[in-house]
Structure 1
Amino acid sequence: MALTRAGALRLHTQWLPGRGDGPRSDGPAVVLLHGLVMDNLSSFYSTLAGPLSRAGHPVLLYDQRGHGRSERPPTGYDRDTAVADLAALLAVLGLDHRPVHLIGNSYGGALALHTALVRPDLVASLVLIEAQLTGDWIEEMTDTLSVAALGLEDGRLRAQLAALGQRKEARLTAGADALLNHTTLIEDIAAGRAFTARDFARLDRPVLAVYGEHSELLPGARELAAQAADCELCVLPDVGHTVLKDATAGLRDAVLARLRGRVGAVAG
């Protein structure tokens, strides 16, 4: 693990070289984008990062701005700035010479899709895992984060967790408090917009969308599949929004199969 300077920001990164009998390690990198606030790169450790690396895919994980061990500036939590952070990171690591495969979970999926729309030169393909796409999700997320911010503001929850010896939970809670109450994250998300059918129609990168059959976000994924030129929708049974955690095996198999097809197409 390392702190890597990407523009004016230091981002916590981890690089896993491709191993095994799969694609060569000099093939397109896979970049993993985690979700918001309580999430960080560690959510991919035992779920996707290891299996992808063992299958021969070089993998980049990083804590996004303000998350995990990355620096937490007071501003810059909109999607355009997130894309700029990613572009700067790829450049400084020498990974900007060819497009990368982006895999995003939850809000990380929304960032992956936005990247493909505004910087398609960076993107070889997309895997969207339970990404928020359409409907009132921005308003709903803003409301949820605002309520969470109020609950964290006085610090009592963090103190209670620390007193109970739950140091990891206390640390995550402290990070969430810092993000929600001491940065513009909530305001920046509220100023964004949901994706539209027009966005999906102009998407020119292949997409695998993986959702749980009980997910409230599934209608947006179906609209994406209907409008995008190359989108495969994979619906995993008996799970909702927690696909990454609770349907890891099915997700892993779908992602590896998709990447094998894409690498084969590039090689051919």
Structure 2
Amino acid sequence: MSLFFEDVGDGPPVVLVHGWPLSHRFWELQIGPLVEAGRRVVCYDRRGFGRSSHPWHGYDLDTFTADLAALIESLDLTGLTLVGFSTGCAEAVGYAAASERVARLVLGSPVLYPDPLAHELLTASKRHRIPMLDDLLLRFFAVDGHSTLDEPTRQYLLRHAAESSPKATAGSLAVWGAADPRPELARVTVPTLIIQGEGDSFVPPDDSGTRVARAVAGSSLATIPAAPHGAPLTHFEQWNELVMEFLAR
């Protein structure tokens, strides 16, 4: 089992964790600005996705978190900022709650709590995986039923999602459907920024950012107007500005 990762730039480290069913390519509009701002940026593909190994087993939260821990510790990163997006927030929270290597935590459009949508998508993924992914990536970037992402970029993301392991696609959904993030959220003590798209139609803000902000003591919640679930792509300037301000505090 091997994880593909990129390690670029110099300075205080920032580790980016993508969400299901994407890959590290999702972070293209964050990597450059962070490097230019004097940060060392590490981003990777979760097991079963992108260019990482596609094993048959290991699509559970403990293993995802162990993968992240192994990467961080192999690079001996300390004082790092850990940035998660969507379902990738789960292992970001799990690692931040347990490790002294994390100095700051950013959770973008967090998907942490169980949702009936996971079971619906799991059923679809077993029979109609590609159409399911296509529909999903419409919802990821939709506000009031209208796409906020150009179609060529959406198709680019769809190609990467389609190349992921079918077992990983289904296994990750099963994890989401059975999640209980409350113990880990209660143990997060580092400064935490939560960024939520106001128009998120994939997971409503009250079940995502707002709920997580209530669970993490001392955290701050920032909302981007008219932004969808995939705000780091569609509203990258606002999203990056919020992160840079948080890093500078």
With normalisation by structure 2, the TM-score equals 0.80
Cα gap change, 1:246 to 1:66, in 2 (>3 Å): same
- Is residue 40 from structure 1 mapped to residue 23 from structure 2 by the alignment? yes
Preserved CA contact (<8 Å) 1:100 1:124: yes
Cα gap change, 1:236 to 1:168, in 2 (>3 Å): closer
- Is residue 133 from structure 1 mapped to residue 133 from structure 2 by the alignment? no
Q: How many residues align?
A: 224
Give the letter aligned to residue 206 of structure 1.
P
Q: CA deviation at 1:172?
A: 4.0
Matches within 5 A, 1:56-67: 56-67=38-49
Equivalents in 1 of 2:39, 2:25: separation in Å? Answer: 18
In the other structure, the counterpart of 2:9 is 17
Q: CA deviation at 1:227?
A: 3.8
CA distances 1:88-109 after superposition (whole Å, capped 9, x unpaired): 11222232xx242110111112
In the other structure, the counterpart of 1:245 is 233
Equivalents in 1 of 2:227, 2:172: separation in Å? Answer: 29
- Is residue 218 from structure 1 mapped to residue 214 from structure 2 by the alignment? no
**Which of structures 1 and 2 has the bigger CA Rg?**
1
In the other structure, the counterpart of 2:90 is 110
Equivalents in 1 of 2:75, 2:169: separation in Å? Answer: 30
Equivalents in 2 of 1:116, 1:171: separation in Å? Answer: 28
Give the letter aligned to residue 24 of structure 2.
L
Give the letter aligned to residue 26 of structure 2.
S
Q: Which runs of 5+ in 2 are unaligned?
A: 135-154
CA distances 1:205-241 after superposition (whole Å, capped 9, x unpaired): 1110000112243114223323422211000001121
- Is residue 194 from structure 1 mapped to residue 180 from structure 2 by the alignment? yes
CA distances 1:170-218 after superposition (whole Å, capped 9, x unpaired): 564242535336xx4444444x32323x654432111100001122431
Give the letter aligned to residue 224 of structure 1.
V
- Large movers: runs of 4+ above 6 Å: none
Cα gap change, 1:122 to 1:76, in 2 (>3 Å): farther
Q: CA deviation at 1:248?
A: 0.6
Preserved CA contact (<8 Å) 1:76 1:185: no
- Is residue 207 from structure 1 mapped to residue 196 from structure 2 by the alignment? no
Matches within 5 A, 1:51-90: 51-90=33-72
Cα gap change, 1:153 to 1:168, in 2 (>3 Å): closer
Equivalents in 2 of 1:199, 1:221: separation in Å? Answer: 16
Equivalents in 2 of 1:56, 1:43: separation in Å? Answer: 21
In the other structure, the counterpart of 1:160 is none
Equivalents in 2 of 1:63, 1:70: separation in Å? Answer: 6
Query: Pick from 58, 80, 83: which aligns with 1:100?
Result: 80
Cα gap change, 1:14 to 1:239, in 2 (>3 Å): same
Cα gap change, 1:167 to 1:225, in 2 (>3 Å): closer
CA distances 1:140-199 after superposition (whole Å, capped 9, x unpaired): 223213313310389xx9xxxxxxxx8985564242535336xx4444444x32323x65
Q: What CA RMSD, in Å, does the superposition of the two structures yield over aligned residues?
A: 2.5
- Is residue 122 from structure 1 mapped to residue 107 from structure 2 by the alignment? no
Preserved CA contact (<8 Å) 1:131 1:217: no
Equivalents in 2 of 1:171, 1:92: separation in Å? Answer: 26
Equivalents in 1 of 2:95, 2:122: separation in Å? Answer: 23
**Which protein has greater RCO, CA pairs closer than 8 Å, 6+ apart?**
2
Sequence identity, in percent? Answer: 27
Cα gap change, 1:109 to 1:171, in 2 (>3 Å): closer
Give the letter aligned to residue 119 of structure 2.
T
Give the letter aligned to residue 194 of structure 1.
D
Cα gap change, 1:81 to 1:250, in 2 (>3 Å): same
